[in-house]
Amino acid sequence: MAIEVKNITFSYPNSQVTAVENVSMTIEKGERVAIIGQNGAGKSTTVKIMNNIYKPTKGTVTVDGINTKNKTTAQIAPHVGYVFQNPNDQIFNDDVTKEIDYVLRYWKLSEEEIKRRREEAIDVTGIRPYLEMHPFDIPLPIRKFLTIAVVVAVSPDYVILDEPTAGQDLWGCAQLRTVMDYLQSKGKAVLTISHDMEYVAENFDRIIVMAHKNIIADGKTKEILYRPDILKEAHVKPPLSAQIAQAIGIRTKVLNLKELTAAIS
């Protein structure tokens, strides 16, 4: 079971230049993968193709063996969920629970099933204190957790998070970890686009590096974050702990402050 992307090329309508060129990757169910790289490297375009929002100009995408070519985006949505960067593009109900229920009712699930999924999604995303509020009165960083709750309730096997840590405080980052752990416990794959290297180093086992419309590296987090040549090409800086470790000549590959402290002591 996997999303398989084979040699995809894509250019936006009315545009002469391609946004991604000949990209291939496989995301297995249950994996945690981060895509990193500079803005304009083709990260967002690639994941939008995996979610079938865009159709590749060349190449194929299969989700659990289903070719997405002749499917609509909404038909792929139950398998591949996407949390957009801007929650305001999505929310339209005047009530938090209605918002979460909307797609479930759209799919005509039973009342008990809807309730079970909704309650679970609310608990995992920590938005219970905000149930009484109008969605647009909820502070923006927390509003984002409402859109995450919507995806959690849909329960797709693959979840894509676009810049989830942007604008989040400590509470938000901790809550995000809870969501990711929950998804993993359910055997779901989590794919994220992020600039936040601390978050990537802490939470992801595998990193895909994109630069100039293509994948330039794909491998274990520890390996990739200690490849200065690749990071430089992608205009990415390693996490601070790794930077310090390298500067003071520590040989072990540390990825967080705890490991760094241990290595120094």
Partner 1 sequence: MGVCIEFQDVSYAYPLTRKAAVRHLNCQLETGKCYGVIGPNAGGKTTFCNLMRGLCPNFYGGILKGNVLVNGKNLLEWEEEELSVQIGYVFQDPFAQVSGIKETVFEEIGMGMENLGVEAEEMIKRIVEIAKMVHVDTLLQKNPLALSGGQCQRVAFASILALNSDIIVIDEPTSQLDPEASNDVFEIIDLLKKQGKTVIIAEHKVDLLAEYCDEIIAIADGSIIAQGSAREVFADPVLREKGVRIPQVVSLALEMEEAGTPFCRMPITMEETIRMLKEKKEGK
Partner 2 sequence: MTDREFIESFRHYQKKGNWWCDFHPIAKLVFCLAFGFMSLIVFKWQAGLAIFILAGIIAIFTPARKTYFITLGVMFVVGCLFTVVVRLYVHMGDPGPVAFYLFGKAVPKAAVISCLDLIFMIEGFLGIFMTFFLTTEMRDLCYSFEQIGMSPSATFMVLSTFSGIASIKEKLNSVRESQRARGIETEGSLIVKIKSVLPVLFPVIISSMTGVEDRTLAMDARAFAANGKHTALRKVAPAKPVEKLIAVLALIICVAGSIAGRIYL
Binding footprint of partner 2 on the chain (CB under 8 A): 48, 51, 53, 72-74, 77-78, 81-82, 84, 86, 88-92, 102-103, 106-107, 136, 150-151, 154
User: H or E segment at 43?
Assistant: helix 43-50
Please give the order of strands across the beta sheet that includes 20-28.
20-28, 2-10, 58-63, 66-67
Binding string, 85-124, against partner 1, x = CB under 8 A? Answer: ----------------------------------------
Nearer to partner 1 among residue 41 and residue 77 (C-beta) = 41
Q: Find which of partner 2, partner 1, none residue 172 binds, CB within 5 to 8 Å per kind.
A: partner 1
Map residue 247 onto helix, strand or coil.
Answer: helix
Nearer to partner 2 among residue 86 and residue 261 (C-beta) = 86
- Cα–Cα distance list, 167 to 7, 47, 192, 196, 225 (Å): 34, 21, 16, 11, 24
Look at strands 2-10 and 20-28 and give their pairing: antiparallel
Q: Note whether 176 and 141 are within 8 A (CB).
A: no
For the chain, the 3-state helix, strand and coil shares in percent, each to the nearest 5, are 40, 20, 35
Does 134 bind partner 1 (CB under 8 A)? Our answer is no
Give the binding-site size for partner 1 (rule: CB under 8 A). Answer: 31
Map residue 217 onto helix, strand or coil.
Answer: strand
Nearer to partner 1 among residue 11 and residue 52 (C-beta) = 11
| Euclidean distance between CA atoms 249 and 81, whole angstroms | 42
Nearer to partner 2 among residue 24 and residue 86 (C-beta) = 86
Q: Find which of partner 1, partner 2, none residue 139 binds, CB within 5 to 8 Å per kind.
A: partner 1
| Minimum distance of partner 1 from residue 1's CB (angstroms) | 33
Residues binding partner 1 (CB under 8 A): 38-40, 139, 141-142, 166-172, 195, 198, 235-237, 240-241, 243-244, 247-248, 257-258, 260-262, 264-265
